[in-house]
């Protein structure tokens, strides 16, 4: 198991850089991962999505789909792609300290 | 290696059955979710999927479809049992198979085709229609759903596909 250091926080990560232990996550780590994913500034909207993913994962044990987020009014497809350009679900789940989504949709 | 990653796909959809349109949409949308640039070029009978009048009415063919054995377990038959062609010809059977597929898709959180086209374009994907096929079927751009970006000749399609992997579904 690889580890990675984010500003003094050492976390366990898999080979794609996803945290394997959610309890090691905090916002500073999320922010550092966001920078790695090319998101320079995490806004309130970014954090709202991240918190929603974490809550959803806690309740359901899996990631919501982009369609779910649109239907539940969390964020529409266009906004998700503009907040997390180049792969909204895989980037947001990594920032959130969750596992990579397995769904094709 | 970074250079080996797929950066762009152009998907061609030439058939208009529900079961023939979904693979193109899923592949294309899945590409966008991975940050891959994606477009779908609808041609020949695939045009059904982007026609205003047809987009909600796509069907699964139950006659001349030898792969329907995959649906046999739903009727409590073994998966290797062939779906009888005579059964497929009975009025309502295609509608029933279509309804079953739609339900399975919904259960997997896969949207109906019209919503899927919207989701794909909202995700930055591009939808094109084939000019030759449009001419053959006497269609105009007004017959097509709003998500269609453009009607292209084959030459223009290849131009737009520069640098892309081209996938025929």
Shortest CA gap B9–chain A (Å): 14
Report yes or no: A67 and A105 within 8 Å, Cβ to Cβ.
yes
Residue B97 falls within a domain, yes or no? yes
Handedness of CA A49, A50, A51, A55 (dihedral sign): positive
Residue B2 falls within a domain, yes or no? no
How far is C-alpha B4 from the chain's CA centre?
A: 27
Tally Cβ neighbours within 10 Å of residue B99: 13
pLDDT band at A105 (very low <50, low <70, confident <90, very high): confident
Shortest CA gap B32–chain A (Å): 7
Going by C-alpha positions, the residue among B90, B13, B88, B97 that lies closest to residue B55 is B13
Report pLDDT digits (tens) over A51-81.
999 999 999 999 999 999 999 999 999 999 9
Q: Which residues of chain B make contact with A72, given a CB cutoff of 8 A?
A: none
Q: How many CB pairs under 8 A join A and B?
A: 38
Report pLDDT digits (tens) over B139-149.
999 999 999 99
Report yes or no: B53 and B143 within 8 Å, Cβ to Cβ.
yes
The ipTM assigned to this model is 0.91
- State which fold the A2-95 domain adopts: Arc Repressor Mutant, subunit A (1.10.10)
Residue B44 falls within a domain, yes or no? yes
Residue bearing the bigger pLDDT, B128 or A7: B128
Going by C-alpha positions, the residue among B7, B11, B4 that lies closest to residue B166 is B11
Domain CATH code at residue B94:
3.40.1260.10
DSSP state of B84: P
**Count of structural domains, chain B:** 1
Residue B89, both tokens: 């010809």
Residue of A68, A78, A90 with shortest CB distance to B122: A78
pLDDT band at A102 (very low <50, low <70, confident <90, very high): confident
Mean of pLDDT values over B71-79:
90
Mean of pLDDT values over B117-129:
98
Cβ–Cβ of B119/A66 closer than 8 Å?
yes
Mean of pLDDT values over B143-164:
98
């Amino acid at each position: 198991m690889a580890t990675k250091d984010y500003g003094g926080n050492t976390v366990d990560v898999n080979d794609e850089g996803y945290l394997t232990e959610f309890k090691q996550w905090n916002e500073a780590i999320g922010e550092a991962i966001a920078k790695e994913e090319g998101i320079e500034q995490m806004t309130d909207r970014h954090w709202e999505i991240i918190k929603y993913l974490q809550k959803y994962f806690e309740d359901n044990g899996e990631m919501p789909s982009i369609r779910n987020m649109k239907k539940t009014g969390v964020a529409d497809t266009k906004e998700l792609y503009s907040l997390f350009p180049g792969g909204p679900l895989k980037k947001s789940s990594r920032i959130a300290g969750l596992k990579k989504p397995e769904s094709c949709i | 290696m970074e250079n080996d990653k797929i950066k762009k796909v152009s998907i061609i959809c030439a058939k208009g059955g529900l079961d023939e349109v979904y693979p193109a949409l899923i592949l294309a949308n899945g590409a966008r979710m991975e940050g891959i640039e994606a477009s779908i070029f609808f041609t020949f009978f695939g045009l059904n999927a982007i026609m205003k009048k047809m987009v909600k009415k796509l069907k699964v063919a139950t006659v001349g479809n030898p792969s329907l054995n995959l649906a046999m377990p739903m009727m409590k038959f073994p998966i290797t049992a062939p779906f009888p062609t005579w059964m497929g010809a009975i009025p309502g059977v295609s509608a029933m198979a279509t309804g079953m597929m739609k339900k399975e898709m919904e259960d997997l959180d896969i949207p109906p085709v019209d919503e899927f086209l919207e989701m794909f374009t909202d995700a930055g994907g591009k939808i094109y229609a084939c000019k030759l096929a449009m001419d053959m079927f006497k269609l105009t751009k007004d017959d097509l759903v709003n998500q269609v970006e453009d009607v292209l000749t084959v030459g223009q399609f290849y131009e737009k596909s520069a640098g892309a992997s081209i996938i025929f579904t």
